[in-house]
Amino acid sequence: MAKASLSIIQALKKTAANLEKGSQYQWGHMGSCNCGNLAQVITNKDKAEIHKSAMRRHGDWNEQLIDYCPTSGLPIDHIIDEMLNFGFTRNDLSYLEKLSDQNILKHLPLEQRYLKHNIKNDVILYLRTWANSLEDTLLKDINIENVSLINKLSPVLVEV
């Protein structure tokens, strides 16, 4: 799973918020599906550009991730590069496309764990649950002594 970081958490939450606010969702469209909506947030590319990039090679996101080659020069591989460099793994993205990471689903009540990968509200729930799980992990790693040391080394600037 992606390492817990503020940037990853913010990207997941922004993707969920965009979907809630009406971002186009279409599971069969490479720029408007689960990974496509996250790719829009990370790369600042629009859905059409992501879809066009993906159509240069056969397959959905899962197949694109299997065929991914960082030296291919294909536009979709550049998009995947950006997502991997951001902190996601190929497995993260593959699980996102199917809403199937058991490490995320286990945080949901039993009756909510059977998400459908092509239902917008299920995608939003999965993204928010993932972000919350990473937030919990990040908070567990915070040590009050380390925070005190950081504050001494880099004082907080307060605007007046």
User: What ranges in 99-143 are assigned the alpha helix state H?
Assistant: 102-105, 120-140
pLDDT band at 140 (very low <50, low <70, confident <90, very high): confident
Query: In which domain, by residue range, is 103 found?
Result: 6-153
CA dihedral over 117, 122, 126, 127, signed as positive or negative: positive
Distance CA 72, CA 57 (A): 11
In a domain, 61, yes or no: yes
Cβ pair 80, 64 in contact under 8 A: yes
In a domain, 35, yes or no: yes
Full-model pTM: 0.87
Percent of the chain with pLDDT over 70: 89
Q: Closest Cα to residue 37, out of 108, 91, 96?
A: 96
pLDDT digits 0-9 by tens, 87-125: 999 999 999 999 999 999 999 999 999 999 999 999 999
Q: What is the pLDDT of residue 142?
A: 74
In a domain, 159, yes or no: no
The number of domains in the chain is 1
Place of tokens 């536009």: 75
Q: What is the pLDDT of residue 153?
A: 58
Q: What is the pLDDT of residue 3?
A: 87
In a domain, 100, yes or no: yes
In a domain, 1, yes or no: no
